[in-house]
Every structure is written in C-alpha cells, then in structure tokens.
Amino acid sequence: MTGPKSGAPRHLRRRHADTIGLDVGAWTTRLWTRVNNVTDLPTPLTAARPGAERSDASASVMAAGRDAIRSQLPRGLRRRTQGFAVVAAVPARASVIGRRRLEAAIRSLNRSGPVLLMDAPLAAAAGTDLDISGTSPRVVLDVGVHGSEVAVLADGRVIDAVSCPIGCRAMERTVLSYLFRRHQVPAGPPELAKDSYRPISAVVGAVRTVTQRASMRTGKDVLEDGLVLVGGGAFLPPLRATLQAELATAVTSPVDPLHAVIRGLALLTAETDRHPWLWDT
C-alpha cells in the first residue's frame, strides 16, 4: 500500500509530456498519454492465467499486449531509445511478487524508462474528484470483470483494503440465469438483488469487513460519507441496491466509472507537486 514519500520523482516534477498511464484490466487495457488522452485496447483473452492474483494476471496481460500498446503511443515516444516514464495502477492488496512481475512486464514495453506503481483505489478516488489528501476516511469499491477490491483511504494513502474474487461476470451470470428461468424481465432491482444475493453478498461482506476494521482503527464511521462505486459494477443496479440496503449508506458513482482509475492516473501525473507522497522513488 502506498504511504507518504519524501518527494515526487525528478523526471515527473520536471516534465509530464513523456509520461504515460496504464490501467490493465481483464477485459480492457486503458492507456493515457498527453497527446492521445485515453485509448481503450482489448485485453488479450488468453493472457491472464485463471485464478492468478490480479496483479500477476495484469503482468501476463501486459506482456501479451505490449505490441498493441506500443502501437498506440505517440510517434515521439515510440522512437525514443532512452525510455519514458510509465505510471501503472496496481491493486492495493497486490503482493510484492505481483508488483515485481507487473513492473518487469512493463519494462519490456518501456525499455530503460522508470516505472511507478500506484494503488488503484487512490487513482480511482482521484478520478472521481475525491479529496484523497483529506483526513476524513473515504471508501472506494472497484468491481472489475473477475474480481473486486474495496479500500478505505485517508491522508493520501490506503489505510486498509480487501480483495474479493467476485466480479461483474459472476453477477451477470446470475442475472442471465434469473431471466432464463423466469422468461421475463424482473419487476425491479430489489427482486433481482434477492435472487443475485450469493455473488453480491460476497462483495458486500468484503466491504463490511474492511470498513469495520477501519472504523475500529480510526475511531470513526468510515461509511459516514458513503461509498464510491467504480468499475463495471457501477452499471449493475442489484449491486448498488444491495449495498445501500445492507450497509445503510449512500452509494455513488462518477459519470464514467469505467475510466475512473485511468483518469485519476492522468490527473495525479499532472499534479505531482500537490501529492508528492504518492510516488515511489
């Protein structure tokens, strides 16, 4: 997890035009550059090993898709021989080995340039315009295709996080099964949420676990300001309805929840002087 640092890297303080951002997902890899802004690239379907830790899977995807990513880089970066800076999102709960594998995979794209890994929940929070440097704890839930991660943030760092091997794919399968059995569209989110409870309950349980732990540590109700939902899960009404009912808190999402992480990487890269402790040196 990311903690306070002594200062932003010199190359990032000096210049941002040669820095790119990467959010490697199981379904889509998102690339940010100052020239092309955000580009969505399909993730190679055979790149990630089933059951692998999310950061390990990201490393596999990164290695398999490096040629497609390089083809989308501005011409000036493609021709550079000295490398360029890459800021990549990584799960807050990623292991040291997982982080090293992702960094090694990125270096195969980046040659000799510096690689910086940022906790994805921090980037997502910045991408939803939350004040990540504030002292009031905020909760961010990122529901991806094959897994979810919930994190509690405060003072510009992740103070606790929990991952869950349940994502949009498992929830959508339950919804499709429901529709197939009933041969009709359900009356509303509550009815569907009840039928989808098993996969959704795992995500709710992860949120409850980490928020209870963080509340005990901080002495504050970390859900007092609600929960921010990003990723594909933001488009699943049963998940939102169940979270609100079970946790008795407001659940909000940004206008574009799929790009919250990559947008946050872009914003923080342009504001390294405001948040120097976020960057690994």
Q: At what angle do helices 168-182 and 197-218 cross, to 10 degrees?
A: 140
Main-chain phi, psi angles of 32, to 5 degrees = -120, 130
Residues 110, 111, 114, 117: is their CA dihedral positive or negative? positive
Instruction: Look up the pTM and report it.
Output: 0.82
Cβ neighbors of 253 (< 8 A, separation 6 or more) are 128, 228, 229, 230, 234, 240
pLDDT score recorded for residue 33: 87
pLDDT computed for residue 188 by the predictor? 47
Amino acid identity of residue 6, one-letter, is S
Position of tokens 């195969």? 108
CA distance 264 to 96: 23
Task: Please check whether residue 77 is in contact with residue 16, taking contact to mean a CB–CB distance below 8 angstroms.
Answer: no
End-to-end CA distance of the chain: 14
Return the CATH fold of 10-123+259-278: Nucleotidyltransferase; domain 5 (3.30.420)
Give the separation between CA 70 and CA 272, rounded to whole angstroms.
25
Stated length of the chain: 281
The pLDDT assigned to 149 comes to 95
Please spell the DSSP secondary structure of 218-229, one letter per residue: HSS-TTTT-EEE
The parts of the chain modelled with pLDDT lower than 70 are: 1-17, 45-54, 76, 78-83, 111, 174-197, 272-281
Describe the crossing of helices 237-247 and 197-218 by its angle, rounded to 10 degrees: 40
Decide whether 10-123+259-278 matches 131-253 in CATH topology. Answer: yes
Burial class (CB in 10 A: 0-12, 13-18, 19+), 198: exposed
Query: What is the rounded distance in angstroms from the CA atom of residue 243 to the CA atom of residue 234?
Result: 11
Tokens of 203: 């995500």
How many CB atoms sit inside 10 A of residue 213's CB? 15
For the chain, the structural domain boundaries read 10-123+259-278, 131-253
User: For 131-253, CATH number?
Assistant: 3.30.420.40
